[in-house]
Structure 1
Amino acid sequence: MRRYATFVLLGLGVFAVAAGLLLRLYAYPRLAKVPHDIDTLSVARGTGITALVYVPEGDRARPEIREGLTLTSSTKVTGNLRAEEVTKDGDVTVWVEASKVTSDDDGLVVTAGLRSLCLDRHSGEGVTPCENQYYEDVSGQRVVADRGERQQPGLSFKFPFDTQRRDYLWYDGNVKQALDIRYLGEEDVRGLTTYRFVQQIPPTRIDERDVPGALVGEPGVPTVRAELYYEVTRTLFVEPVTGKVIAGGEDVRQELRTEGQGVGQGTVVFDGELTLDDKTVAANVAESEKNVSRLSLITGLPPILWAAGGVLLAVSLLMFFAAGRGRHSRPGPPTKVAAPV
């Protein structure tokens, strides 16, 4: 009976260790992936913003700088299921982002953008080869990259699953680079533990264009060549298990500088902060809590199974060797001693 129990414990121990390995090495990688068929809408709002708008006048639009605006930014992200990079169980997906910032007062469009890229479904980073990568520049022209060129490197939509307390590279669509975004500690967002990341980009030249002289303080000149400078402080609150951005915002400043103008001397064409609204944050929290529960079950069970399996294996081996020692030390039958004659 003891021998039978020994082998039962041994089998259970091996099963527990194997099950833990299976969950960690097979189940977790399959579950910790972003979906191909994403379809989300994020909304950010801001008040008291200075922005350049284009006011319709007949068949033309007149540029005008307005102050004290209330703006709404809408960002729609969808999956391109027809892209050749997309396969059912593949590790690469293709997402398309369409964004627009409008004035709440009159609906005038302040900025709009469209981009597409391939990303790793685990890390969230832009990857190549990719046939479906492009972005629209400030003039609305589509810029398409070669399939082997990583046009939009770094992180763009989310952080990796199992986000670490360290700095990452986050892609900025205005400077067209992936730059450091620093980890600055933990913060509670609606009861959810998040990591706070901040990216600060100093004034950077992003474009050069001809603008009406009146727009930049030279009313007597029909057009003036000006450079557009951009700076931002981007703050993101990230749920670390899923890597999902829960809340955050961008404090942006843009100015047009003519020849000879330095920092702060140009014409401000955007100055203000847009932050994700309550509805968007609440939806992000609800989705993350659901996904965290599933992933935590997968990541939490293996250590328990390994510990239990180790104990069962140790006990079964002790029982096995104890039984062996018992057989070797068992006394034999008594030896008959001849009676004296």
Structure 2
Amino acid sequence: MRTAVVAALLGLGAFAVAAGLVLQLHSYPLLAKLQHDIDTVSVSEGEGVTAVVYPPGGMPEVRHNLRLTATTHVEGDLAAPEIKENGDVTVWKRATIVKEDSGKLVLSAEVRKICLDRRTGEAVAPCRGEFYETERGKRVTAEGRQLLQPGLNFVFPFDTEQRDHRWYDTVLKRPVDIHFAGEQLLQGLDVYRFAHTIPQTALDRFAVPGSLVGRPEPSVDVTQYYGVTRTLLVEPTTGAVLSVREDIRQELRTDTQDEGEGTPVFAGELRLTNASVAANADQVKANLPKLFVITTLPTVLWVSGAVLVAIGLVLLLVWRRGLVAGPLALVIGACLAGAITYGVTNASDPDDSLDLKNVVSSSNVDYGLR
């Protein structure tokens, strides 16, 4: 009986410790990664917005008190050469179109493609085919090892830390520090709040019709300025961005105008709809139990396994029973745990279900571009 107790304690302890090690060293790197085949649509809305609109066949004009809808489609480009089963890099495309609701006129649109580190969410290079495009036929592409859209673009890293991160701003075309601003509850999830304010910053200088900026001349040289206050709510375990709120201010200024004296190009707030936030939260809730198995469970297994092994060793020394069965149980428990955990992990690998040999590039690259 004493031999059986010692063997059981040592066997179960070894099983727990070995399973924890496999989950940490093999399962986590294999499963905690961005998916190749993402395909999501999210919607942001804004009310009381002032913006420039482009009536068909007419001149651009400033309109006030608009209601806007911004639709964003993110999908994986499985045809990209960087996509490999269990590779470290994935390739995502994002198409965004902003329309005013009454006449369905397009205010702006953008399409971009980027390579991402599957664990940190950071943009990586080289990335063949990386680009961004805001006007049809004016695509900006990366060359060689150039990092065209550096920083975080879509998600935060797995196990997001409470510190500053570099978030890529699509207007400035460069990453900007976004600061940890606290914790809160969202849809029953503990989330981190990240925020920053980008002050009014000069962008391009160009000529516009004088009528657009209230001048009698046919053409007037102006400088476009841009600033934004951005707040992101991030689920830290997955790094998923659940909610986005942006208060955007853009204006055209002549050489004699100061901040606030120019012509507004865009002035208002866009935020993800409740439906989009709920959909994001539901997806995270579905993924968290899977991540628990490869993040928190290993620690539980190590601690419990170590306790069982310690008790078994003490009893082995005190009772002098199980001197052969005990070590044998240790070996069998460890081997059995490794084999089972390794097999279950590989069977759960989402990359195995993808057919990466028979894919074609998606067709959303002209989405909304004028």
Q: Which moved more, 1:44-53 or 1:184-193?
A: 184-193
Structure 1 partner of 2:164:
167
1:71-105 alpha-carbon deviations (Å, 9 max, x no partner) = 00001111110100000111100001111100101
Structure 2 partner of 1:36:
36
Q: What runs of 5+ residues in structure 2 fail to find an aligned partner?
A: 324-370
1:274 corresponds, among 270, 277, 286, to 270
Q: Residues 117 and 133 of structure 1 are in contact (CA less than 8 Å); yes or no, is this contact kept in structure 2?
A: yes
**2:312 counterpart of 1:316:** yes
More strand by share: 1
Name the SS of the counterpart of 2:175 in structure 1. Answer: strand
**2:125 counterpart of 1:128:** yes
| Compared CA separation, residues 300 and 191, structure 1 to 2 (3 A) | same
Structure 2 partner of 1:233:
229
Q: Residues 46 and 268 of structure 2 are in contact (CA less than 8 Å); yes or no, is this contact kept in structure 1?
A: yes
Q: Residues 24 and 298 of structure 1 are in contact (CA less than 8 Å); yes or no, is this contact kept in structure 2?
A: yes
1:46-82 alpha-carbon deviations (Å, 9 max, x no partner) = 100000001112xxx4110000000000011111101
Give the deviation of 1:233 after TM superposition: 0.6
Trace 1:72-221 onto structure 2 (pairs within 5 A): 72-137=69-134, 141-219=138-216, 221=217
Cα distance in 1, alignment partners of residues 167 and 137 from structure 2? 23
Letter in 2 for 1:43: V
Cα distance in 2, alignment partners of residues 203 and 140 from structure 1? 29
Cα distance in 1, alignment partners of residues 135 and 167 from structure 2? 20
Q: Residues 109 and 134 of structure 2 are in contact (CA less than 8 Å); yes or no, is this contact kept in structure 1?
A: no
Structure 2 partner of 1:339:
none
Give the deviation of 1:7 after TM superposition: 3.9
Give the deviation of 1:4 after TM superposition: 5.2
Structure 2 partner of 1:293:
289
Q: What runs of 5+ residues in structure 1 fail to find an aligned partner?
A: 328-341
How big is the alpha-carbon RMSD for the aligned residues of Structure 1 and Structure 2? Answer: 1.8
1:7-59 alpha-carbon deviations (Å, 9 max, x no partner) = 443232222111101112211222211111111111000100000001112xx
Give the deviation of 1:265 after TM superposition: 2.1
Give the deviation of 1:322 after TM superposition: 2.0
Structure 2 partner of 1:336:
none
Give the deviation of 1:137 after TM superposition: 4.4
Cα distance in 1, alignment partners of residues 64 and 179 from structure 2? 32
Structure 1 partner of 2:50:
50
Cα distance in 2, alignment partners of residues 176 and 216 from structure 1? 26
| Compared CA separation, residues 101 and 140, structure 1 to 2 (3 A) | farther
Which TM-score applies when normalising by structure 2? 0.83
Name the SS of the counterpart of 2:79 in structure 1. Answer: coil
Name the SS of the counterpart of 1:56 in structure 2. Answer: coil
Letter in 1 for 2:10: L
Q: Number of paired residues? A: 322
1:305 corresponds, among 297, 301, 307, to 301
Cα distance in 2, alignment partners of residues 25 and 75 from structure 1? 36
Letter in 1 for 2:46: G
| Compared CA separation, residues 37 and 250, structure 1 to 2 (3 A) | same
Structure 2 partner of 1:2:
2
Cα distance in 2, alignment partners of residues 86 and 201 from structure 1? 34
Which TM-score applies when normalising by structure 1? 0.90
1:180-204 alpha-carbon deviations (Å, 9 max, x no partner) = 1111111111222211111211111
Q: Residues 118 and 132 of structure 1 are in contact (CA less than 8 Å); yes or no, is this contact kept in structure 2?
A: no
Cα distance in 2, alignment partners of residues 26 and 107 from structure 1? 50
Cα distance in 2, alignment partners of residues 9 and 269 from structure 1? 71
Percentage identity across aligned positions?
50
Letter in 2 for 1:52: V
More helix by share: 2
Name the SS of the counterpart of 1:307 in structure 2. Answer: helix
Cα distance in 1, alignment partners of residues 222 and 167 from structure 2? 28
